A and B are shown apart, each in its own frame.
Chain A
Amino acid sequence: QSVLTQPPSVSGAPGQRVTISCTGSSSNIGAGYDVQWYRQLPGTVPKLLIFGNTNRPSGVPDRFSGSNSGTSASLAITGLQAEDEADYYCQSYDRSLRGWVFGGGTKLTVL
């Protein structure tokens, strides 16, 4: 069981908007620790998509956005494209565990 909970799968049609949730607790997201999002295309290395809850690294299009509230965070993808089909992982720091934690991952299917 992952410390951060994500839905196993989400789907959307090309051009649509989808959101992926990440639910934590008062010892990680709720404690104010930053949330990162990573995208892992099939058979490839995870890539940083969002850092510090809402920030995009250079080169990541503004179709991707992050937000958080309370003990949860969300990743939104607008203008869905076929190449967005991948696994998405949230990550934060947990003060009780004194270490970094990942969500269980969400598989995004573009219909």
Chain B
Amino acid sequence: QITLKESGPPLVKPTQTLTLTCTFSGFSLSTSGVGVGWIRQPPGKALEWLALIYWDDDKRWSASLKSRLTITKDTSKKQVVLTLANVDPADTATYYCARLTGDLRDSFDIWGQGTLVTVSS
């Protein structure tokens, strides 16, 4: 069974750095064609893709957030970590991590339950 689970602080102050961890099981991030991505959803709003890391450590970032994002992986721990610097109340959202697989034409086939992060002083 493939699962992903996000973890991180529920509350962050403006200007701080948000660190989120995606812990996954049931697949390997060293398998060709596999990636783990982060997607967020502000309350009542649409999904927004943030970043993705591939099995070969290739990384992609949202153009609008690139300067604030970093993404890393620890294959042995089965974790992917996303950091978002200099947060603002507009970053308040549910943050999801999801597996991307080439087997399903690069779709996000399995999603974590999401973690709600509120940015407020």
Q: Could you list which residues of chain A lie within 8 angstroms of chain B, going by C-beta atoms?
A: 2, 34, 36, 38, 45-48, 51-52, 55, 57, 89, 91, 93, 97-105
Tell me the smallest distance from the CB of A54 to a CB of chain B, in Å: 10
Tally B residues with Cβ within 8 Å of A.
22
Contact yes or no, B107 A48, CB < 8 A: yes
A-facing mask of B77-120, CB < 8 A → 1, else 0? 00000000000000000001000000011111101111000000
B11 at the interface (CB under 8 A from A): no
Contact yes or no, B107 A36, CB < 8 A: yes
Q: State A100–B62 Cα separation when bound (angstroms).
A: 8
* Interface residue ranges of B26-78 to A (CB < 8 Å): 37, 39, 46-49, 52, 60-63
Tell me the smallest distance from the CB of A108 to a CB of chain B, in Å: 15
Contact yes or no, A102 B47, CB < 8 A: yes
Given contacts A45-B96, A99-B60, A105-B47, are A36 and B108 in contact (CB under 8 A)?
yes
Given contacts A98-B63, A99-B60, A99-B61, are A51 and B107 in contact (CB under 8 A)?
yes
Chain B residues with Cβ below 8 Å from A91 are 47, 49, 107-108
Given contacts A52-B104, A57-B109, are A105 and B61 in contact (CB under 8 A)?
no
Q: State A38–B47 Cα separation when bound (angstroms).
A: 10
Q: State A56–B112 Cα separation when bound (angstroms).
A: 20
Chain B residues with Cβ below 8 Å from A100 are 37, 49, 52, 60
